[in-house]
Structure 1
Amino acid sequence: MDELEFMRGRVYGADHDDAGPQPGRAYVELVGGPLDGLLLDVTGLSDHEVRAGVALPTEIGSHGPGGRALYAPRATDSRRFEWRGDTP
């Protein structure tokens, strides 16, 4: 994905009216799973928090409403977080 295409992506958790990436913020791309293709704002997270990955609330995962999608940084590209599964 080139930089221009990356900056056109929708941001996880953003309002639909303001769903694009904002200048001065740091984002990673979510790859696979129910949130595939969305960008995640990681601005302000420590390196340790980023390496640990995230559990993101989603209604479209395998556990339905109340479930979470698990994503962790790709070993070869820290700008992409790969889906690791869903959890209730």
Structure 2
Amino acid sequence: MDELEFMRGRVYGADHEEAGPRPGRTYAQLVGGPLDGLLLDVTDRAGADLAEPVALPTELGRYGPGGRACYAPRPGDTRRWDWRGDTP
């Protein structure tokens, strides 16, 4: 199994032992970029907050350790968040 296949279905920011989705939580799929295929827990986001983009810390992006991958909800489909680029 390669690294990309291993990461699919995993929750961003979760411990390795508990990396899968948990019952009772709501997730959005990250699409594109360095975190492609990971799930983002959006359970505590609602209304306008669910429409706000996020900058997620990652070592996998263009800027390596300390960088962030930027994702925003796809218009009309808040279950998918599209990559918008990386930032230092």
TM-score class, shorter: 0.7 to 0.9
Alpha-carbon displacement from aligned partner over 1:65-88 (angstroms, at most 9, x marks no partner): 111000001113210000000011
Alignment of 1:3-82 (within 5 A): 9-82=9-82
Structure 2 letter corresponding to 1:20:
G
- Listed as ranges, the gaps of 5+ residues in structure 2 are 1-7
Q: For each residue in 1:12-32, what CA deviation from the matched residue of structure 2 results, as whole angstroms up to 9, or x when unmatched?
A: 000111100000001000000
TM-score after normalising by structure 1 = 0.87
- Scaled by the length of structure 2, the TM-score of the pair is 0.87
Cross-structure match for 2:5: none
- Report deviation, 1:46: 2.5
Moved over 6 A (4+): none
Structure 1, unpaired ranges of 5+: 1-7
